[in-house]
Amino acid sequence: MARGVDRRVVVPTELPHRTAAHRRFALDTLSPEAVRAALLSLAVDFGDRLRTRRQAARTNTMTVTLADRSQVHRSRQLASGPSAHTEDLRDTAYEMYRALGFQPARVRGIALRCEQLVDAAAVAEQLSFDQGRDRRLRAEKAIDLLNARFGSGMVGPAASYRQAG
């Protein structure tokens, strides 16, 4: 080994089986728009991360932290099957939050986890006759190329960017 000869077999590391991120609000918020913007930001981040690693998520798990520090957890499988598309991740997150049925509640933070990650090459792509979805998927590929060239997060939905304070 001192001469640079190592006969042990090299085993590449496995890709992770889950990925997580969270957004904490500077002040507890009553604004559903702020929560939706945070969920969109997380979905954009996860979509980019998953497509970069060539993985797809089967399940989204959301944790909402309220002002009294209590937490609400929800989990849901993606309706479209395993996916790395921002639109699918976003829609699932929005549905989970809407299903909570919060009356105006002070939200302190929100966390999202993509679980049961699988190799994207093993996922069958459902053909669609929805031309709008096809256009959005092509735009997503162009956005990924721009972000790869100019840096992550340079291009994305306007609602996902934090407002200047």
Query: What is the rounded CA–CA span in Å between residue 6 and residue 4?
Result: 6
Domain of 79, in residue numbers: 18-120+133-154
Assess if residue 59 is contained within a domain: yes
128 falls within a domain? no
Asked if the structure places residue 104 within a domain, the reply is: yes
Instruction: Establish if 102 belongs to a structural domain.
Output: yes
- Confirm whether 160 is domain-assigned: no
pLDDT of residue 164: 37
Give percent helix, percent strand, percent coil of the chain, each to the nearest 5. 40, 25, 35
pLDDT of residue 165: 38
Q: Assign residue 32 the CATH number of its domain.
A: 3.30.1490.100
Q: What is the pLDDT of residue 160?
A: 65
Structure tokens at 35: 């929560």
Residue 6 lies in a domain: no
| pLDDT reported for residue 161 | 64
For residue 89, being part of any structural domain is answered with: yes
54 domain residue, yes or no = yes
pLDDT of amino acid 59: 92
Per-residue model confidence as pLDDT tens for the chain (165 residues): 788 888 888 777 777 888 899 999 988 888 888 888 999 999 988 888 888 888 889 999 999 999 999 999 999 998 878 888 888 899 999 999 999 888 778 899 999 999 888 888 777 776 677 788 778 878 888 888 887 888 777 777 776 666 533
pTM value is: 0.77
Tally of domains in the chain: 1
Q: Which residue has the tokens 């500077």?
A: 26
